Chain A
Amino acid sequence: MPAITEDTTTVRVPEPIQPRDGFGPPPRPPEEDGGGEDPRPGWRPAFPVSRGRLVLWLVLTVVVMLFAGFSSAYIILRGAPAWQNVALPASLWANTFVLLASSVTMEWTRRRTVEGHTASAKKWMAATAALGAAFLGGQVLAWMELAGAGVYLASTLHSSFLYILTGMHGLHLAGGIAALAYVSAGVFRNRYSAAGHEPVTLCATYWHFMDGLWVYLFLLLMLA
């Protein structure tokens, strides 16, 4: 992934560095730069990741730690004598398939945007959002299936985790859909060209991450 930031897309004319204080030779260029606002022409930020991408990864770190907290609780309580597994609703398989499919469409959205095929990107993005919503609806159906079988939040430790982990993941995915909606406004107004597509790629990263997180949670709930 090349380090592309918005700053570098504008062309700057380099100027010779002037001695500033009127004494001594011109200052030698510092060995390392920060990544801040450009104080002099012809200078590039040294930090290789854009601000948006950095924040995204920090947010994902927070999400990882949140679910690491839940997971460690799960693993510790898994050994408790009172632990009782409940049968996972079959619809979770279908939901998983839907979410995986949405990752594929998301990836198509990203590629079409990068290539500049905005019209195509719009379609794929709509499909992604629809699949995401279908997944969330499916998760609610899975809850209803559970409740129909007499398995509630407080029934067993396993069912508590089942409801809470799916719920927490669903909330995060809903956030992803909201981000898609926000970004789609830009795509539909053709703001994201091949050169300035970062919001779409960030959405794609988040989306794939949520997908991976779900697969992890599903495996945890199923196998452990």
Chain B
Amino acid sequence: MGEAGMNGAGRGASVTLADLVKRYDRVNAVDGVSLDIRSGEFLTLLGPSGSGKTSTLMMIAGFETPTSGDIAIDGKSVVAMPPYRRNIGMVFQNYALFPHLTVEENIGFPLKQRGIPKAERAKLVAEALDLVHLPGYGARYPRQLSGGQQQRVAVARAVVFKPRLLLMDEPLGALDKQLRENLQLEMRRLHADLGITFIYVTHDQEEALTMSDRIAVMNDGKVAQVGSPEDLYDRPTDRFVAGFIGESNFLPAIVRGMEDDIVIAECDGAIIRAMCPSRPASGDKVTLTTRPERLRFADSAWSATTPQNRLSVTVTEAVFAGERCRYMLQAGDGTSMVLKEPSSAAIRRRAIGERAEISWSVADTILV
């Protein structure tokens, strides 16, 4: 059934989580998660530690039993099915390679459990080693490999039996930055090659933004927002998401009116326009958010001509960080903001205590 569809669609399993709850002692580690994961998608569960992302993954794998709710793979509930019947590939944070088996035997392990004859096993293992760029490493033991190589073996072992769903629990967490970035690209390539569904757990927002088709941001056992990396970065619907993914400024404001999809709010005496999916009432206290790299000093040469929000601020801190300058600003009502300006010898650097006017696009202002 894995070969359905010539264009690769259908090679991956679809996964539906319906109001999933996992209760430990008296705490809901996972508190009503509902999510539709499409066939062939690279979905990342992103969140801080304790947000329930790993518990969710463990329930999909079958290592944990949900307290309530349902997990369906390709429309069939798997809650009652033990992990060894689910046919899901899994890469663990510490790789979990069998120390008493060689690389070949490790990768051959899932094939052996499925009763695949030795000759065919050898062929599939060799293919898997090629896939992760480790040909010729079959006879070694895991302890003779570097961390990055062990990680590749773990991936080879998880996909050698051609599962339609691959789960990964912070698989790059233990590696150094350079290696991590290389492997991120390799994971993407692997996902494109295999065409199967990936569910990836990480607390690293940059990793999530780089690799995923969609990201489900988790907080306190709930899904805060699901969307493409661009959606989450440009249009966070939630203060937690705005703060967790990238850096955000938060401005307290009072709603004064609406113009189509744009809310008009008063902030420190200035009128600020913001994108707004909901319909707040006049007089409501709300929070507006913007990204530091999208703020500009109003008098700088390349300020855009699109509809602008403007605000008067005082510079309280100025840090030169090579490719950009980072300014801490304070509005008249005491609100702190961060502004990141690309550095250029042509741009005058602001001094601490200097008063300035900043401006930014309405499209980059969101009501959360």
Asked if chains A and B come from one complex, the reply is: no
